Amino acid sequence: MTQVQLRPAVAALPPYVPGARALVGAAAFKLSSNENPFPPLGSVVAAIADGAMDVNRYPDMYATELTEAIAAHLGVNPAGVVTGNGSVAVLGHVLAAVCDAGDEVVFPWRSFEAYPIAVGIAGARAVQVPLTADGRLDLPAMAAAVTDRTRVILLCTPNNPTGPAVRADELEELLDAVPRDVLVVLDEAYVEFVRDPLAADGLAVFAARPNVVLLRTFSKAYGLAGLRVGFAVARPRLAAGIRAVSTPFGVSQLAQLAAVASLRASEELMARVQAVVEERARMLAGLRAQGWQVPESEANFVWLPLGDRALAFAGESARAGVLVRPFAGDGVRVSVGEVEATDLLLEVAEGFAR
Ligand SMILES: *Cc1c(COP(=O)(O)O)cnc(C)c1O
């Protein structure tokens, strides 16, 4: 060989496609990345500004104040909370802590596009289980996909990009069916937007099941996508392993301060989440009144199963000033944001042949 070789698993990684961004100077609503449409609260901006004078110093490596604030907020043991540079990074650390080369990770598909990448980087084997026809996770099929080599099952609830949440009863069945040494990761990036009373309660499940780990983020409901803070909630023994493989000083001090300030302001922020939930209902109802078949959504986005016409829809929507996230050949994910953006999106959807 005459040149440096990449690991085969790395050469085979699918790219992570970010949501479209507006061209500089162009007016557009960005409904392509499931971001929070509201600007940060004044109290959060003040916390970031206060921290700016200390950026010559390393952050608190263990994010002590943030970890304790998260634990108090959720009613869990702080020894089980592991923060990271966004929950995508934390997922990578979870997999690094438990997967050896060739181990299998079962996850739904289509789901969060970071999953195949994270599994590939870990050197594990991806076992993708198709969604049901109505965009739900197929938990019986996922349980049936478990083999002797399975180390992890990833459950995205609500599922990005389709929207439905896993129900409590189906999750119990899956957990009863899989071996106790298989880690079940509940990626709850959108948990604050869930309103379905039948949806699984991740914290209660975590309390009862030592092989469950929760992943949560400040990027969506808390509106801190730009600062990159997420965390895992695990049993302390597992948390110690996840911490051991984490990037040292992985969460900047500004991000730690902003996340602590956001937890302090959580009532104010949850009122914003409620506004998004109401806007989601309006978008879903508007689409359905036009005759669209859209899955239920418990998150801050809705899914249009457009198949081959996904890119065409995204193009038309962009021309109307609304950026959405197409998945070629599959569908379009539309984040719920500004009221005006919903109006424009509904206009595009009305004119688009179904
Ligand atoms: C947005 C999202 C995340 C959060 O990612 P961060 O790295 O915390 O910004 C995690 N999981 C899913 C399914 C998501 O959609």
Residue 284 sits in a domain whose CATH number is: 3.90.1150.10
Integer angstrom CA distances of residue 94 from 191, 245, 295: 19, 8, 30
Q: What is the pTM of this model?
A: 0.96
Residue with tokens 């439905």: 164
Kindly state whether residue 341 falls inside one of the protein's structural domains. yes
| Ligand 1 within 6 A of CB of 137 | no
What spacing in Å lies between the alpha carbon of 217 and ligand 1's midpoint?
A: 6
**One-letter amino acid for residue 233 of the chain:** V
How many residues belong to the chain? 354
DSSP, collapsed to helix, strand or coil, labels residue 303 as strand
* Domains of the chain: total: 2
Q: How far apart are CA 279 and CA 103, in angstroms?
A: 42
Give the distance (Å) from ligand 1 centre to CA of residue 129.
20
Give residue-wise pLDDT tens across range 127-155. 999 999 999 999 999 999 999 999 999 99
Contacts of 251 (CB under 8 A, 6+ apart): 59, 63, 66, 83, 84, 85, 228, 229, 259
* Residues 73 and 214 occupy one common structural domain: yes
d(CA 3, ligand 1 centre) in Å: 36
Per the listing, tokens 């071996």 go with 179
In a domain, 7, yes or no: no
Is 232 in the same domain as 298?
A: no
Contacts of 266 (CB under 8 A, 6+ apart): 73, 222
pLDDT at 21: 81
Confidence of residue 24 (pLDDT cuts 50, 70, 90): low
For residue 130, the domain's CATH number is 3.40.640.10
**Among 208, 242, 264, which residue terminates a domain?**
264
Q: How confident is the model at residue 340 (pLDDT cuts 50, 70, 90)?
A: very high
Summarize pLDDT for 144-189 with one digit per residue, the tens: 999 999 999 999 999 999 999 999 999 999 999 999 999 999 999 9
Whether the predicted pLDDT of 26 surpasses 70: no
Q: Which atom of ligand 1 is nearest to the CA of 89?
A: 7
Ligand 1 closest atom vs CA 219: 9
State whether the beta carbon of 219 lies less than 6 angstroms from ligand 1. yes
159 lines ligand 1 (CB under 6 A): no
Task: State CA 83 to chain mean position distance.
Answer: 15
Range of the domain at 347: 19-34+267-351
The total of other beta-carbon atoms located within 10 Å of residue 197's CB is 7
Question: What local confidence, expressed as pLDDT, does residue 16 receive?
Answer: 87
What sections of the chain are H helices per DSSP? Answer: 8-11, 42-51, 64-74, 87-98, 114-121, 139-144, 168-177, 202-208, 236-245, 253-264, 266-289, 310-319, 339-351
Helix H or strand E encompassing 105: strand 104-109
Band the pLDDT of 15: cuts 50, 70, 90.
confident
- Please work out whether the CB of residue 187 comes within 6 Å of at least one atom of ligand 1: yes
Residue with tokens 């009305």: 350
Atom of ligand 1 nearest to the CA of 220: 1
